């Protein structure tokens, strides 16, 4: 059985990897969806992939694609190890994917992102992103 601790441990192994749009290899770069796919692969969870997406949202395509592969849960019931779909600042539609984790004193996000100061996979406080969460999911293999 796969635990939430397993998910977070594998996601943390990716912190520091460069951000590359549609990237799927931590050695050469990954994007936010690449983090999810890399974690699924490491844990032996089947997760079909596609890399024909752009950097701008196409309606609710991101959510619809994730919904086909994972179990949707209410945002009000998220736990560490869950996968969050977020809007990014300045965007109305969801364009970003991240893992919820827990640090020593607070919840965190593990995600690969291109921002003004960073093009890396990072772990940072969830509170900075909480207002942007639109949907939540978990791997089917987690109880």
Per-residue pLDDT reduced to its tens digit, 43-52: 999 988 887 7
Give the pLDDT score at 38.
97
Q: Helix H segments across 43-125?
A: 61-69
Task: Evaluate whether 13 touches 30 at the Cβ level (below 8 Å).
Answer: no
Cβ atoms < 10 Å from Cβ of 71: 14
Cβ atoms < 10 Å from Cβ of 12: 16
Give yes or no for residue 133 having a pLDDT over 90: yes
Per-residue pLDDT reduced to its tens digit, 106-131: 999 999 998 767 799 999 999 999 99
Task: Evaluate whether 111 touches 99 at the Cβ level (below 8 Å).
Answer: yes
């Amino acid at each position: 059985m796969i635990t939430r601790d397993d998910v977070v441990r594998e996601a943390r192994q990716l912190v520091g990897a460069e951000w590359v749009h549609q990237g799927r290899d931590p050695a050469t770069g990954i994007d936010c969806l690449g983090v999810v796919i890399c974690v699924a692969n490491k844990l032996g969870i089947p997760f079909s992939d596609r890399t024909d997406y752009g950097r701008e949202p196409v309606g609710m395509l991101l959510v619809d694609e994730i919904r086909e592969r994972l179990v949707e849960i209410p945002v009000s019931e998220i736990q560490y190890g869950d996968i969050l779909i977020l809007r990014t600042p300045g965007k109305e539609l969801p364009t970003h994917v991240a893992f919820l984790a827990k640090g020593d004193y607070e919840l965190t996000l593990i995600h690969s992102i291109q921002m003004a100061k960073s093009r890396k996979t990072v772990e940072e406080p969830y509170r900075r992103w909480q207002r942007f969460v639109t949907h939540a999911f978990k791997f089917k293999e987690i109880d």
